[in-house]
Amino acid sequence: MGLFRTRSAAVYGIDAHLIDVEVDLYASGSSRDFITVGMPDTAVRESRERIKSALINSGFGYPGKAVTINLAPANVRKEGAGFDLPMALGILGAMGALRRTEQFLLVGELSLDGSLRSVRGALPIAVCARREGVPNLVVPQENAAESAVVEGVRVFGVKHIAEAVALLNEPEKFAPETPPQVSGSDRQETALDFRDVRGQTTAKRALEVAAAGSHNVLMIGPPGSGKTMLAKRLAAILPPLAFEEAIETTKIHSVAGLLPRAVALLRDRPFRSPHHTISDAGMIGGGSAKLGPGEASLAHHGVLFLDELPEFPRNVLELLRQPLEDRTVTLARAKMTLSFPASFMLVAAMNPCPCGFFGDSTRECRCTGAIIQRYLGKISGPLLDRIDLHIEVPALPYKEMRGRDEGMTSAFLRERVLAARERQRRRGFYNANIPPAQMRALCVLDEAGERTLEMAVRRMGLSARAHDRILKVARTVADLGGAEAVAAKHVAEAVQYRSLDRDYWT
């Protein structure tokens, strides 16, 4: 009896860090004495009652001594109930019921009967075990498939603390979890198809360009014109997540507790559509007790769709400026600073005015000029500059609504998008993220292209950022056409997607 050590991990942001759990029993104390040190939060301190009941109800008994548990390093806050299992096993080890456990990293929440509940962040914890050279990871059974995605770590899923004890004492009798088979073909087929959207040829083409280059899009049009239908079908033409992208995206959803049960690795790009009543913390992350990812990070490597854009609080929209530029969200608090990745496609939709019918040839707009300007003024110029394509989605004429639309299917568009993205992959980045140093080399214009771009910048009064985004979109249009050089026609199409700068905001 005496001192015993186990190992666990704590998740901060989307990464986990190794935690040493030291358990000591004191004969001079009372069994009621249970002290946890090392900056534990409320959930960790409350583990005393769960551990005591779990050990007694599992038939292991409880020491009639004082228990002191140290979670090291002591200067880092420990959060969550995932420390229940390593602390309980540490007590059993101090009682002499366990072998040494240096080769195991342990995590799990205990029920009062000794069974294990799933925890958040199992995938980052598995990555931590591999990074720290711990060969074995013990997790609740529900987290086993998710953790086994990481190569180089033997993952054991257990349902009860008694099973964990048997595993640690006789590991040779247990087989590790079989890593799930994952491939690019695992994506789920969606029933949403671009062919379902009648007409709107220009908008469909713009979304194809956006998907090919990972560009941000703003759609403007009256109610019922198909803006939401188009946005929801965008995910159907995006390529599946690459393995490294899938790992990073799954880590975020695992930490947030949003990973679907029995899903080991996300293969489809996320599509997040928050309501316009969302708060600051809901959009970019944060929280009073624990810093967690927001919608901007949950949409990482996917689509963040903001319907009725002017209805969102302006302060919430302005918070998106940093992630749109830097592809990351940094949350700074007094005791901790965390960064969450946030590389997403922003797809926004809005009406041209509060009543929705400004510019409609068939219905009368009831809004005054001042009302329209106040409505559009909710979206700042710097935010608009960060949106590459501004497209109009007009009301659909009756003939197009009732006619047979033989437009292109999502499958056909996806093949074109994949081919364009493959060209960009060989360059090392998507066109929306072309570094400034590479801009001139990748977007060389001939004399006609220079004249077209110069005329657009002067007439529309575009900023330097808007100028760069036109060049990036033109590069994408060229990639879709299989062209090596950016020609005047590519620039002209890219300029067309900025024409609403002049029509609506001037």
pLDDT tens series, the chain, 506 aa = 578 999 999 998 889 999 999 999 887 655 568 889 999 988 898 899 999 999 999 999 988 888 999 999 988 888 888 999 999 999 999 998 888 788 999 999 999 999 999 999 999 999 999 999 999 999 999 999 999 999 999 999 999 999 999 999 999 999 999 887 765 444 555 567 888 887 788 888 999 999 999 999 999 988 888 888 899 989 889 998 988 999 999 999 999 988 887 788 898 899 999 999 999 999 998 876 678 899 999 999 999 999 999 999 999 999 999 999 899 998 887 677 888 999 999 999 999 888 888 877 778 888 888 888 888 888 888 888 889 999 988 887 767 666 666 668 888 899 999 999 999 999 888 999 888 888 888 888 888 888 988 888 888 877 888 888 899 999 999 999 988 889 999 999 998 888 666 556 55
- Judged by DSSP in three states, 189 sits in coil
Q: Could you tell me which of 334, 346, 250 has the C-alpha nearest to residue 293?
A: 250
CA distance 82 to 72: 15
- Any bridge partners for residue 201, and if so which? none
Neighbours of 30 (CB within 10 A): 10
CA distance 214 to 208: 10
pLDDT attached to residue 23: 93
* Complete domains list, the chain, with CATH: 4-173 (3.30.230.10), 187-411+418-426 (3.40.50.300), 434-506 (1.10.8)
pLDDT attached to residue 185: 45
Query: With contact defined as beta carbons under 8 Å apart, do 105 and 41 qualify?
Result: no
Which residue bears the tokens 């996917």? Answer: 302
Residue 184: both structure tokens together: 């690019």
Neighbours of 201 (CB within 10 A): 12
Residue 423: both structure tokens together: 């060209």
Cα dihedral 136→137→138→140 (10° resolution): -150
CA distance 85 to 54: 10
DSSP string, 234-284: HGGGSPPPPHHHHHHHHHHHHHTT-PPTT--S--SPPEE---TT--HHHHH
- Please report, for residues 202, 302, 309, 383, the alpha-carbon distance to residue 314 in angstroms, rounded to integers and kept in the order given: 29, 23, 10, 10
pLDDT attached to residue 158: 95
- Please report, for residues 140, 153, 499, the alpha-carbon distance to residue 112 in angstroms, rounded to integers and kept in the order given: 15, 29, 64
CA distance 262 to 407: 37
pLDDT attached to residue 85: 95
pLDDT attached to residue 263: 82
pLDDT attached to residue 317: 94
Terminus-to-terminus CA distance in the chain, angstroms?
78
Taking each continuous run of H as one helix and of E as one strand, the counts in the chain are 22, 16
Tell me the backbone φ, ψ of residue 109, rounded to 5 degrees: -95, 135
CA distance 219 to 230: 9
Query: With contact defined as beta carbons under 8 Å apart, do 115 and 141 qualify?
Result: no
Query: With contact defined as beta carbons under 8 Å apart, do 1 and 26 qualify?
Result: no
363: left (phi over 0), alpha (psi -120 to 50) or beta: beta
Which residue bears the tokens 């760069």? Answer: 468
pLDDT attached to residue 191: 61
Neighbours of 274 (CB within 10 A): 20
pLDDT attached to residue 7: 95
DSSP string, 333-402: -SS-EEEEE---EEEEEE-SSSSS-TT-SSS-----HHHHHHHHTTS-HHHHHT--EEEE-PPPPHHHHH
pLDDT attached to residue 476: 94
Look up residue 260 and give its amino acid.
Answer: P
CA distance 244 to 83: 28
